Structure 1
């Protein structure tokens, strides 16, 4: 499936805090799309920008945009 600009660009993300206190955010459905911030809010704003840029590059290259099939389950 190829996503166009008219479709939602939000993604499930993984948010964790490293040993230095920085928040790390990863996008499982977009390998290599990772960002960070000093605060949770900063990290989330940074990953929004990273997602947009990542998707723009895929579109420019004519590559398919992966669906976000990530499911979060607590066990």
Structure 2
């Protein structure tokens, strides 16, 4: 039986290009990707692997209040003037 867990991920542009992803509720856990889509996929894989390793070792999962703010940069295209 699968359980779903949600954690806030912060995507920051890297100086050398791409994005660095961190998790405020899990200090030290980070990954990166060349594009936002790749960074998002890498973040999900990184988070899943970390949480699975905690479960395997019998450690408690990090807690993050579900009512906290969620931020994501949105890009829109405007019609030509």
> 2:33 aligns to what?
37
Matches within 5 A, 1:27-66: 27-66=23-62
Greater relative CO, 1 or 2 (CA 8 Å, sep 6+): 1
Structure 1 Cα separation of the partners of residues 29 and 50 of structure 2: 7
Give unpaired runs (5+ residues) of structure 1.
none
TM-score by length of 1: 0.78
Question: Which of 27-36 and 40-49 deviates more?
Answer: 27-36
Find the aligned partners of 1:46 and 1:9 in 2 and give their Cα distance.
16
Per the alignment, residue 20 of structure 1 pairs with 16
Deviation at 1:35, TM superposition (A): 0.7
Shift of residue 19, structure 1, vs aligned partner: 1.1
Distance 1:16 1:43 in 2: 10
How far the C-alpha of 1:72 sits from its partner, in A, is 4.1
- The CA deviation string for residues 17-63 of structure 1, in whole angstroms up to 9 with x for no partner, is 01111200001112222110000110010000000000011111111
- Alignment TM-score, normalising by the size of structure 2: 0.73
Which runs of structure 1 show a deviation greater than 6 angstroms over 4 or more consecutive aligned residues? none
Q: Following the alignment from structure 2 to structure 1, what is the Cα–Cα distance between the partners of residues 23 and 65? A: 11
